[in-house]
Structure 1
Amino acid sequence: MNWLDRVIGAVAPAAGLRRVRQRQALRLMQRAYEGAKAGRRTDGWVTAGTGANAEVGPASSRLRERARDLVRNNPYATKAVNALVSNLVGTGIVPRARSRKLAAAKQADQLWVQFAAACDADGLTDFGGLQALIVRSLVESGEVIVRFRDRRVEDGLPVPFQLQVLEPDHLDSGKTEDLADGGYIVQGIEFDAFGRRRAYWLFPVHPGESRGRSVSSRPVPARQVLHLFERLRPGQVRGVPWFAPVILKLRDLDDYDDAELMRKKIEACFAAFVTGAQDEETLGKPSTGIAGDRIESFEPGMIEYLEPGKDVKFAAPSANGDYADYMRMQLHAVAAGVGLTYELLTGDLSQVNYSSIRAGLIEFRRRMEALQWQLIVPGLCQPVWARFIELAQAAGKLPEGEITSEWTAPRFEAVDPLKDIQADILAVRAGVMTLKEAIARQGYDPAQVLAEIAATNAELDAAGITLDTDPRRSTKTGQEKSATSDPSQDPNTL
């Protein structure tokens, strides 16, 4: 409190109290958010309060082009894409039909197998292969378009439609306008007056193809298009390449690595340096071999006599002891930026043990599962299944009625399978996990596995065969159970 506050407090206590309170509130506001302060530390920090689409729109094309260039030419970018694809979809996320009518579910499963083998509009792969292609484009370009292509019944397909995967370049990003009916178009995506997606304005041919660029885009109804991208902000309508946070870092790191390689190559070119006085007698009289050629190279067992006053100093290349540590730290940042662990990005396992790599993989797999069940399954798998059931029933290949699906992603390989299996066994015994949950964690359909176990047990019983892996007949140590023993009292019972 300064002298003025003391005077005001003595003359008008209420006014003085208000001044003190306001000054204290001002101090609290000033130190509430240090990051919002303006000063020398933040002079070069330029920010903007733009919306998601205003930020993504102008940058999306260049971000895609640079990300693709990195994937083509940078080994770490290539490894990142491959690692994300193999962990997100692997061999493919597969469905199991569910219906109150078991016969209808079984029929749907059989028809799906046929559809999945013939669903590619390009005729090059199956549904699992399309998933890998879709995720690859999702990572590299930030988004991907999947178009439903209806076919004629006479085309002979299991279900009369196929899937066509398109790069986001097919979307007319330059088309943004308001429509007369209250709708609007944002970067090639048309919305109705309620903000629902109504159509996608697509170029028939990729704008970058050499066979000619289409001058105009055409609207395709939204129900015939799947648009997959990871939404990072509310209201965002287009995707951002997953390499966006590390594009410059990867490029600079690649330049640094090339410069270090060039330095090593230059140093390796200088094997030795000849020193000594250059007087008139020795100037222009270099050492020569038998054929009269100047000696400028070395070979095993060679002995060369130098002129008086000459000396040879061999090159000693400098060692850059910081190179490995610097590369490692930068690659840690790159791995964090693309959502991988350092070990998955580089393949370097020299500094990990079981506990550390397991801890890293747990967090990474949580991220992969979130993308599987929040993006790929609801954005791709379920809409394709719904279309499959709709057209199959319309074509008379499936009975009417609700037929839903349960999707199973490929299981993640255990770091130590024995420890993980033992943990699952203990969890099932303790009642904190069901047997079906344990089977599902392995990436299998519990109903199918239990049915196969029951069928196998029936076949073994009919043949009079007893296996030491059968918990009905053997203890967990492989010993045969007594016919009169109570399994619930046997501590060795599985």
Structure 2
Amino acid sequence: MARKSKHKVATTMLQPQARYDAAGNGRRMRGWMAPSTGPNRAVAGIQNIRNRSRDVTRNDWSGESSIQKWTTNLIGIGIVPRFKRIQNKQRKQELTDLWQQFVAQSDADGILNFYGQQTLAVRAWLESGEVFVRRRPRRPDMELAVPLQIQLIEAEFVPMLDADSWPGLLPGNRIRSGIELSVSGRRLAYWMYKSHPGDGAMGATIDASMLIRVPADQVKHVFEPKRPGQLRGISAMASVLARLRNIGDYDDAVLERQKLSNLFVGFISRSLPEGLDPDVDPLTGRPIEGTISSPLAGLQPGMMQELDPGENINWSNPPEAGTTYSDYMRTQHMGTAAASGIPYEIFSGDIKEVSDRTLRVLINEFRRLAEQRQWQIVIPMLCQPVIEWWAEAAVLAGKISSNEILDVIRVEHAPHGWQHIHPVQDPQGKKLEVDAGFRSRSSVIGERGDDPDHVDDERQWDMQREQALGLHASQLTAQTAKKPDDKKEQK
């Protein structure tokens, strides 16, 4: 009996244990063969993704809408630095003026100002998956406010090159995806084409003479890593490109179907008596010349056409227009919007059957994601490095002293503020928070994208101007109070 009991215990322990269904290979998961590629091998075919993403942006409204809405909400009119650590008011204004001069002269291509470059950089990052920002020191004789300009470089300039030995590569270093890495994995340089490979006649083979080595401290790589250790960025449209392609094909098919449904084609059939020659016209007795399928007359509304004996007309039966087209397209674009991280109502402009309370919840959630991208990608990868480059160039030009450079580069970045969802309730709620001591008045002003110091200065100027013109509120109250007395004196 004892042996039998031990056998039962052993049998029980060998039974299959509970596990995740997603880890099995049963009937439901048999055809799901997901690869176990690393973060950098997974980007194989990255150029096809870039090309298709740009094509969708150029030729599909949904692709353009996704990129446009994200760019607008992340940048707005620009992410502006504030020199909060500079206590001297006059010196702070001098630095602000120096920065504004740089903003107007920052573009190495001479087209945009720096805030326009912010917009273009974000658009290139979202569309292509990444963008490179290169520091361009300039000579003092170029008449710039500071001897520095910024160049935006598309992803194709850095090829997907892997090499352990390369002309000009330091011993022990290696190149992965066009990025030179040290033994410890630190980025040391970027190997770039001298010109855009898509604008010239370049072969598929990469030659050492085509590339130049740019030190990493002269370049900032703007991208959103999805996995630890990922070296290059993937377009934000990658997860929806196949869906958008299928939606476009379906849309084209429905369009052709609609065209066919509006075509009314008539076919004239003739029946000839037996014994007649089909090559001879029975009415004239002459040989038939040309085709007998030519139309009798052009069709006009209300026209009655008399046919010859033995002729009748059969009308075609074209397909009807799809009755579920709008519902299907709406459902598909809702999935596209969700994958893009944008509320469908903002993505498409379709606010049918959406209340203002529901829309407030959707917008607030979208803004949380936008702020995450602002403070984790755009500001640390683009805005702050440019501030540091600008400050260093200003020190070389003698515009900033070496003693104050640390206070200058520790700026407060102010993204463009969000508009109120409700123009009355939102300000009232913020006023209640300030009055209750839950937050500061400066934080409310800063949330709108304005500088609290500048707002206070403007308020002071307005009060002084009103007093000088006799428009101050206290003076108006005093004048109003004197009016009854003036009437009594007149009586």
TM-score band w.r.t. shorter chain: 0.7 to 0.9
Deviation of 1:480 after TM superposition, in Å, equals 11
CA distance in 2, matches of 1:428, 1:481: 32
Match of 1:254 in 2: 248
Task: For residue 52 of structure 1, give the secondary structure of its aligned residue in structure 2.
Answer: coil
Q: 1:428 to 1:66 in 2, by over 3 A?
A: same
Structure 1 contact 181–193 (Cα < 8 Å) conserved: no
**In the alignment, is residue 454 of structure 1 matched against residue 460 of structure 2?**
yes
Name the CA distance, whole Å, in 2 between partners of 1:112 and 1:480: 46
Letter of the 2:81 partner, please give it.
Answer: P
Residue 424 of structure 2 aligns with an amino acid whose one-letter code is L
How far the C-alpha of 1:79 sits from its partner, in A, is 1.5
2:260 is the counterpart of 1:266: yes
Change (3 A) 1:262 1:225: same
Q: Using the TM superposition, name which of 75-84 and 395-404 deviates more.
A: 395-404
What whole-Å deviation, never above 9, does each CA across 1:421-442 have from its counterpart, x for those lacking one?
A: 2222222223222211211221
TM-score, normalized by length of structure 2? 0.85
In structure 2, the CA distance between the partners of 1:197 and 1:296, relative to structure 1 (3 Å rule), is: farther
Distance between the aligned counterparts of 1:276 and 1:55, measured in 2?
63
Q: Does 1:79 align with 2:72?
A: no
Match of 1:445 among 447, 451, 455: 451
Mapped to 1, the partners of 2:307 and 2:475 lie a distance apart of 89
* 1:378 partner letter: P
Structure 2, unmatched stretches of 5+, are: 283-293, 483-491
Q: What corresponds to 2:387 in structure 1?
A: 385
**CA drift at 1:351:** 3.0
**Structure 1 residue aligned with 2:438:** 432
The superposition leaves residues 279-318 of structure 1 with CA deviations (integer Å, 9 ceiling, x where unpaired) of 44999999xxxxxx83464324433334567366585751
Decide whether the 8 Å contact of 2:163 with 2:175 is kept in 1.
Answer: yes
> Using the alignment, how far apart are the partners of 1:251 and 1:220 within structure 2?
38
Number of equivalenced pairs? 456
Q: Which residue of 2 aligns with 1:278?
A: 271
Distance 1:68 1:444 in 2: 35
Residue aligned with 1:163, SS: strand
Match of residue 88, structure 1, among 63, 67, 74: 74
Any conservation in 2 of the 1:335–1:345 contact (CA below 8 Å)?
A: yes
The alignment partner of 2:230 has SS state of coil
Change (3 A) 1:262 1:304: same
Note if contact 1:107-1:398 (Cα within 8 Å) is conserved in structure 2: no
Distance 1:480 1:60 in 2: 74
Rate the CA distance shift 1:311–1:62 in 2: closer, same or farther, 3 A: closer
Of 452-461 and 393-402, deviating more is 452-461
The reply to whether residue 11 of structure 1 matches residue 12 of structure 2 is no
**Greater CA deviation, 425-434 or 42-51?**
425-434
Distance in 2 (CA, whole Å) between partners of 1:359 and 1:230 is: 26
Q: C-alpha distance in 1, partners of 2:156/2:433?
A: 49
Q: Secondary structure at the match of 1:177?
A: coil
1:187 aligned to which of 131, 152, 177: 177
**Of 217, 226, 232, the match for 1:223:** 217
Deviation of the 1:113 alpha carbon: 0.2
Q: Secondary structure at the match of 2:411?
A: strand
Name 1:488's counterpart in structure 2: none
2:368 to 345, 366, 369: 366
Distance across 2 between alignment mates of 1:377 and 1:125: 19
Alpha-carbon displacement from aligned partner over 1:448-471 (angstroms, at most 9, x marks no partner): 21222133223323443135xxxx
Aligned to 1:116: 103
- Aligned counterpart, 1:145: 132
Q: Compute the displacement of 1:70 (Å).
A: 1.2
1:100-115 aligned at under 5 Å gives the runs: 100-102=86-88, 103-115=90-102
The answer as to whether partners of 1:159 and 1:392 remain within 8 angstroms in 2 is yes
Shift of 1:384: 0.3
Q: Does the C-alpha gap of structure 1 residues 69 and 50 become closer, same or farther in structure 2, counting only changes over 3 Å?
A: same
Q: CA deviation at 1:277?
A: 6.8
**AA in 2 matched with 1:352:** V
- Residues 1:428 and 1:296: Cα distance change in structure 2 (over 3 Å): farther
Matching residue's letter, 2:262: A
Whole-angstrom CA distance in 1 between matches of 2:174 and 2:480: 74
How many Å separate the matches in 2 of 1:480 and 1:335? 59
Tell me how far 1:117 sits from its aligned partner.
0.4
Residue identity opposite 1:193 in structure 2: V
2:323 counterpart residue number: 321
Distance in 2, matches of 1:247 and 1:294, equals 47
Deviates more, 1:213-222 or 1:44-53: 213-222
Q: Aligned-pair RMSD on alpha carbons?
A: 3.0
Q: What percent identity do the matched residue pairs reach? A: 35
Give yes or no for contact 2:254–2:321 (8 Å, CA) kept in 1: no
* Structure 1 residues 411 and 278: alpha-carbon distance in aligned structure 2, compared to 1, 3 A threshold: farther
